[in-house]
Amino acid sequence: MKFKNTKTGVVIDLTAPISGGDWVAFGEVEEKPTPKAKSEVEIKQESTQDETNDFDLTKMTVDELKTFATENDIELTATKKAEIIEEIAKAFEM
């Protein structure tokens, strides 16, 4: 008779029956899908602009950039978005 361990999957062939534990007669084993291990990596949600000071100036409109500059006492001379971003970035490099 063949017996299979339901935990390890080991199959053995014996002349005497085995009882108890995780052993069942081979062929009677109901295959259960093995659960997938949970990932140990923690998935962090993206934080919003309000939660951090790290944000993307390129996603702001020209009006938002001008307001941001005013609130941070940055004097702007540029009128184009790319140049305004450059001036804001330079002001924070100091």
Q: What is the domain extent for residue 22?
A: 1-30
Which CA distances in Å does 1 have to 4, 15, 57? 10, 6, 73
Flag whether 36 is in a domain: no
Predicted local confidence at residue 75, as pLDDT: 92
Would the pTM of this model clear 0.85, i.e. be above it? no
Flag whether 73 is in a domain: yes
Which strands, in side-by-side order, build the sheet including 23-25?
11-13, 2-5, 23-25
Flag whether 63 is in a domain: yes
Considering its fold, how many domains does the chain have in total? 2
Mean pLDDT of the 43-61 span = 66
Cα–Cα distance for residue pair 31/6, rounded to 1 Å = 9
Predicted local confidence at residue 49, as pLDDT: 46
User: How does residue 53 score in pLDDT terms, banded at 50, 70 and 90?
Assistant: low
* Same domain membership, residue 57 and residue 25: no
Flag whether 48 is in a domain: no
Judged against a pLDDT cut of 80, whether residue 1 lies above it is answered with: no
Q: Which residues contact 66 (CB under 8 A, 6 or more apart)?
A: 76, 84
Flag whether 14 is in a domain: yes
Mean of pLDDT over the chain? 76
